[in-house]
Amino acid sequence: MASQPKPLDYAAYLKTPEIKRRYDIVGLVVEVLSPGNTPKQVAQKLRDYAAIGVLEAWVADSKRRTIAVLHPAGGEFRQTAVYGAGGRLRSQVLPRLRLAVDQVFRR
C-alpha cells in the first residue's frame, strides 16, 4: 500500500500506479483549508486535481465557515457555489451525498 501522502503531494499520490489501478476516476475531492494555506497553494492543488480528471471539488474554509463547490471548466476548476451557515450541499457527482454546512463546522 502507498504511504500516507503529505497534504501538498496529494495530487501526486492520486497518480501513483497503485491508486490508478484501483480507481479509474476520482469523483469528489474535499480540500480542508489550513490556516497556513496560501491562495497560490490552493490554486495549485485545484489545477492538479483538474489535471487528473477530478469531477468536483469542495473547499472548506473553517475561518469563514463556508464551503465552496467547484467544477472543471476548460481544464481548471471554476467556483459554482458557496454555502455558509444554514446551507445544504449536494454533490452533482454523488447525488445521494447531502451535507449541512452547520454539521461540518459544529464545535
Provide the residue type at 22 as one letter: R
More confident residue, 6 or 105: 105
Positive or negative, the CA dihedral 95, 79, 36, 85 is: negative
Average pLDDT of the segment spanning 99-104: 91
For 58-100, the pLDDT digits (tens) are 999 989 999 999 999 988 899 999 999 999 999 998 888 899 9
Question: How many CB atoms lie under 10 A from the CB of residue 50?
Answer: 21
Question: How many CB atoms lie under 10 A from the CB of residue 100?
Answer: 14
Which residues does residue 16 pair with via DSSP β-bridges, in sequence order?
Answer: none
For 19-44, the pLDDT digits (tens) are 555 556 678 999 999 888 999 999 99
pLDDT given at position 52: 82
Q: What is the rounded CA–CA span in Å between residue 106 and residue 67? A: 13
